[in-house]
């Protein structure tokens, strides 16, 4: 039987399930209803999300936390280390370099790129910084998997193009610019300003 393809929102919810499971003991048990309460959703939704990826737990008995955490990690590819190239080492980029949560989740920012001469050749938070024109060679040599863009809007498309030329197939864009990528490159945009601008709407229209 061909399994129904999971929608992207289901994968996003899996990451939230995993976040809560990481805070629990290996041998603890949890039901779909309990997991749903933590996220403010329904047990039906939790069971449906998990069903896209296989058989989890025992009907009527719930899930063993350690095993479910391991299974979700495997489904999401988080049972391995993912290496990252960061483009743009300004205030935001520097903050990303120093964020300890990446390593806890299996993400390792291995190299940074910036055009400013006072940063090139240095290490920031233990990460070596290079000129972007060295990107193709360094990314291929170090087998980098993911690119993060944290440059000003006017430089975002060029940064994306360089990452793609270098062989990167997944990009997380923190720039406010909307960039274009080929169909085979997965792009996710993180726009802090637009997300913040939505908040007053919900306050005013409660």
Q: Give all domains of the chain, ordered by start, each with its CATH number.
A: 8-75 (1.10.10.10), 82-194 (3.40.50.720)
pLDDT value for 201:
78
- Strand-pair partners of 130: 113
User: Does 74 belong to an annotated binding site?
Assistant: no
Chain mean pLDDT for the chain: 90
Q: What is the pLDDT of residue 187?
A: 96
Please, is 176 exposed, middle or buried when counting C-beta atoms within 10 Å of its C-beta (0-12, 13-18, 19+)?
middle
pLDDT over 70, % of the chain: 96
* Residues 152/175, Cβ–Cβ less than 8 Å: yes
pLDDT > 60? residue 117? yes
Q: Is 89 annotated as a binding residue?
A: yes
- Full-model pTM: 0.85
pLDDT at 3 over 60: no
Ligand-binding annotation for 90, yes or no, is yes
- Is 190 annotated in a binding site? The answer is no
């Amino acid at each position: 039987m061909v399994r129904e393809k999971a929608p992207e929102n289901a994968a996003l919810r899996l990451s939230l399930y995993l976040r809560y499971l990481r805070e629990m003991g290996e041998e603890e048990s949890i039901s779909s209803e309990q997991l749903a309460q933590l996220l403010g959703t329904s047990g039906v939704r939790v069971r449906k999300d998990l069903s896209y990826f296989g058989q989890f737990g025992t009907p009527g008995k719930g899930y063993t936390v350690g095993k479910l955490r391991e299974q979700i990690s495997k489904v999401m590819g988080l049972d391995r280390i993912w290496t990252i190239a960061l483009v743009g080492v300004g205030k935001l980029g520097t903050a990303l370099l120093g964020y300890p949560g990446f390593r806890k989740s299996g993400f390792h920012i291995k190299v940074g790129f910036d055009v400013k001469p006072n940063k090139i050749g240095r290490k920031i938070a233990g990460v070596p910084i290079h000129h972007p024109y060295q990107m193709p060679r360094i990314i291929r040599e170090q087998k980098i998997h993911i690119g993060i863009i944290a440059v000003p809007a006017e430089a975002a498309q060029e940064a994306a193009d360089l990452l793609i030329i270098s062989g990167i197939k997944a990009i997380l864009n923190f720039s406010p610019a909307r960039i274009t990528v080929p169909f085979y490159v997965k792009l996710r945009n993180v726009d802090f300003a637009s997300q913040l601008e939505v908040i007053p709407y919900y306050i005013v229209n409660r």
